[in-house]
């Protein structure tokens, strides 16, 4: 105690006043220092929360190629079963909460189709959720092929199916490394493309024969009372110079989501892929999600203004193989979606 007290000198009243005045002057010269520090801390925290990962197009392309390598992924075939196992296992490597929804649905011709909807949930504890979807099966008929001899042959479905799933798998990988500010459910749908061949179409409404896996999931979601603020469906998102018009059913059921996603794409530098132009209504998985479970869901789908079919030239033909996939398009779609997710509040 003696050594501690011996270092202090007696303090006069005058010295004490000078000391207090100095402290007051110093404080008055920095009136905003505390507030500025707090503001900077909040700003840095906000930036960290909204940091958007870089979408890896090479990785997404690899996922597309792996799917196509199994051969046409038509329901009730060995290729379909093997690819389903691959997708489930791939998702499990980056997501702890994976559910496989298996069942049977009846096709237009009475065939019972074995299907598997594959769902991965990120941040399942959050009630604020976004639903991302794509179908993984491929069409059993190349009924739009220029050669009629090919109309009963199954297609690889590199763009029509595999491209959207490839984008979702890469997004899942990013979500596993950088937790998102909202919950995200990745729904990989089956039995979408087993609708009637064109030469068997009639004047009757055949829309219910498409999107069979989506219809089943919408009526029997993977979790009781499942809800999401909105959904985004990907379909044919890998072709060179793709144009994603504002699909008409999307504009009917979720116009604000369409406009928000397109605005994000423009801000991210992908305006040429996302023109501000409305396209035709497409009977796709999102239609049934909107109608049955009432989740406002949009469709990012390649619609071609110059094509007779309204889709890409390879649509439902044998040319829909890995050669049509362009990494630049995968990047545009994937980066846009990551930006949408990580800028959510």
At residue 202, the pLDDT reads 59
Domains of the chain: 9-44 (no CATH), 55-342 (3.40.630.10)
At residue 31, the pLDDT reads 45
Q: What span, in angstroms and rounded, lies between the C-alpha atoms of 287 and 226? A: 18
At residue 3, the pLDDT reads 32
Kindly report the average pLDDT of the chain as a whole number.
89
At residue 306, the pLDDT reads 86
Residue 20 has pLDDT above 90, yes or no: no
Q: 102: which 2 tokens?
A: 């298996």
**In this structure, is the dihedral angle defined by the CA atoms of residues 216, 217, 223 and 224, taken in order, positive or negative?**
negative
Tens of pLDDT, residue by residue over 78-113, are 999 999 999 999 999 999 999 999 999 999 999 999
Tens of pLDDT, residue by residue over 76-85, are 999 999 999 9
Residue 22 has pLDDT above 50, yes or no: no
Q: 143: which 2 tokens?
A: 């009924």
Average pLDDT for 27-31? 45
At residue 199, the pLDDT reads 77
> By CB neighbour count within 10 A (0-12 exposed, 13-18 middle, 19+ buried), where does 180 fall?
buried
Tens of pLDDT, residue by residue over 291-322, are 999 999 999 999 998 888 999 999 999 999 99
At residue 1, the pLDDT reads 38
User: Of 21-35, 141-155, 198-212, where does mean pLDDT reach its minimum?
Assistant: 21-35
Chain center to CA of 95: 15
At residue 333, the pLDDT reads 98
Q: 336: which 2 tokens?
A: 């846009």
Average pLDDT for 154-170? 98
pTM attached to this predicted model: 0.86
How crowded is residue 166: how many other Cβ atoms within 10 Å of its Cβ? 31
pLDDT category at 247 given cuts 50, 70, 90 is: very high
Residue 10 has pLDDT above 60, yes or no: no
At residue 106, the pLDDT reads 97
Average pLDDT for 149-153? 97
- 2 versus 44: the higher-pLDDT residue is 44
Percentage of residues of the chain with pLDDT beyond 90? 81
User: For residue 170, which phi and psi values (nearest 5 degrees)?
Assistant: -70, -40
At residue 9, the pLDDT reads 38
Percentage of residues of the chain with pLDDT beyond 70? 84
Name the strand (E) or helix (H) holding 186. strand 183-189
User: DSSP assignment of 187-235, as one string?
Assistant: EEE-S-S-PPPGGG--SS--GGGS-HHHHHHHHS-SSTT---SEEEEEE
Residue 40 has pLDDT above 80, yes or no: no
């Amino acid at each position: 105690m003696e050594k501690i007290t011996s270092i202090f000198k007696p303090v006069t009243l005058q010295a004490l006043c000078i000391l207090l005045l100095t402290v007051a002057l110093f404080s008055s010269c920095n009136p905003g220092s505390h507030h500025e520090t707090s503001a900077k801390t909040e700003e840095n925290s906000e930036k960290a929360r909204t940091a958007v990962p870089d979408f890896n197009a090479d990785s997404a392309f690899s996922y597309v190629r792996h799917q196509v390598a199994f051969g046409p992924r038509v329901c009730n075939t060995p290729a379909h079963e093997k690819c389903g196992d691959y997708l489930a296992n791939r998702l499990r490597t980056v997501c702890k909460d994976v559910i496989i929804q298996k069942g049977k649905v009846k096709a237009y011709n009475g065939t019972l189709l074995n299907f598997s909807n594959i769902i991965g949930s990120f941040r399942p504890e959050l009630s604020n959720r976004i639903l991302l979807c794509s179908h993984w099966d491929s069409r059993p008929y190349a009924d739009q092929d220029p050669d009629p001899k090919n109309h009963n042959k199954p297609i690889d479905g590199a763009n029509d199916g595999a491209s959207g799933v490839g984008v979702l798998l890469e997004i899942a990988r990013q979500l596993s490394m950088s937790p998102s500010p909202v919950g995200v459910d990745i729904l990989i749908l089956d039995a979408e493309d087993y609708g009637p061949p064109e030469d068997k179409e009639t004047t009757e409404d055949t829309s219910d024969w498409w999107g069979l896996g989506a219809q089943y999931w919408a009526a029997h979601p993977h979790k009781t009372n499942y809800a999401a603020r909105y959904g985004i469906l990907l379909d044919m998102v890998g072709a060179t110079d793709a144009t994603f018009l504002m699909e008409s059913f999307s504009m009917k059921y979720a116009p604000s989501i369409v406009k928000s996603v397109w605005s994000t794409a423009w801000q991210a530098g992908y305006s040429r892929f996302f023109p501000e132009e409305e396209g035709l209504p497409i009977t796709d998985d999102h239609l049934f999600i909107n109608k049955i479970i009432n989740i406002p869901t949009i469709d990012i789908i390649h619609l071609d203004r110059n094509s007779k079919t309204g889709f890409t030239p390879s649509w439902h033909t044998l040319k829909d193989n890995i050669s049509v996939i362009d990494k630049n398009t995968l990047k545009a779609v994937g980066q846009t979606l990551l930006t949408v997710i990580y800028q959510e509040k």
